[in-house]
Amino acid sequence: MRPIIIENHSPTSSHVIAKNFLDDDFGNMDMVFRVQSDRQFKTVNVTSTNTKTIRDGLDACFVRSQQDIELLRSVIFWQKNTIDYQALHTAFLLNSLTEEEFEEEAEKFTVFQKDVSPEIIAAVVDRLDSLVGINFDTSDYADYFHCTQNNVMKGLSLLPSHSRFFALLPPATQEK
């Protein structure tokens, strides 16, 4: 941002484009101007900035918010799946379902464990914590990522500055 102060003006006739701006090589310039009037000092501040800078900032903000929405959506789906399964299990405990019927229904909820990169786990756990702030355990994260707890612990060990995550690790890992 480069501020241009225009003095001796009346607010209805200020120079929006200052002379020194026109003196530059403005052949490919795309700029956004911000005009601020100050009644106390009777001045108008015109601030210009490159449009690309603003657009890049807005794009980055949009991309980040989309990623956050996707992350939160995935958590909602995960929790919904868990609630549905627990309802099924409760039905079994209350003898509304036989063991065979329960096993048949449980098949639909079965997932395969997979290897997840510790870096991805660390990034997602860190972001999720800053968004929702709920204390999840390693088994919860393993359930969310469809991976093993060892896999989760490798990810959490990449977040040594977060004492809460580090406390979830066994002492041998904490010493590393």
Partner 1 sequence: MTKKSCICSSVEGKKLCFKTRQFFAKPPVVNEILKIRVYPFKLGINGYVEIEIPLEDPEAVIAFNTSMTEIGDAVQGGSIDGWSTKIVKPQNVGKGSASHSATFGVANGHSYAHVESSPREHLQSDEIQKRNPAIIEVINPIYLSS
Binding site for partner 1 (CB under 8 A): 81-82, 85-86, 89, 92-93, 95, 99, 102-103, 106-107, 109-113, 137-140, 143, 146, 148-149, 167-171
In the complex with partner 1, the residue whose CB is nearer, 14 or 148, is 148
**Distances from the Cα of 161 to the Cα of 30, 45, 98, 137, 172, angstroms:** 42, 43, 48, 17, 17
Sheet holding 31-38, edge to edge: 2-6, 43-50, 31-38
In the complex with partner 1, the residue whose CB is nearer, 44 or 118, is 118
Instruction: Give min distance, CB of 148 to partner 1, in A.
Output: 6
In the complex with partner 1, the residue whose CB is nearer, 59 or 137, is 137
Instruction: Give min distance, CB of 161 to partner 1, in A.
Output: 19
In the complex with partner 1, the residue whose CB is nearer, 45 or 82, is 82
Instruction: Give min distance, CB of 119 to partner 1, in A.
Output: 20
Nearest to 138 by CA among 150, 126, 128, 120: 150
How far apart CA 171 and CA 176 sit, in angstroms, is 9
In the complex with partner 1, the residue whose CB is nearer, 72 or 91, is 91
Instruction: Give min distance, CB of 86 to partner 1, in A.
Output: 6
The residues, any chain, with a CB within 8 Å of residue 111's CB and separated by 6 or more, are 146
**Distances from the Cα of 103 to the Cα of 29, 92, 110, angstroms:** 67, 10, 10
Nearest to 126 by CA among 69, 68, 78: 68
Instruction: Give min distance, CB of 77 to partner 1, in A.
Output: 12
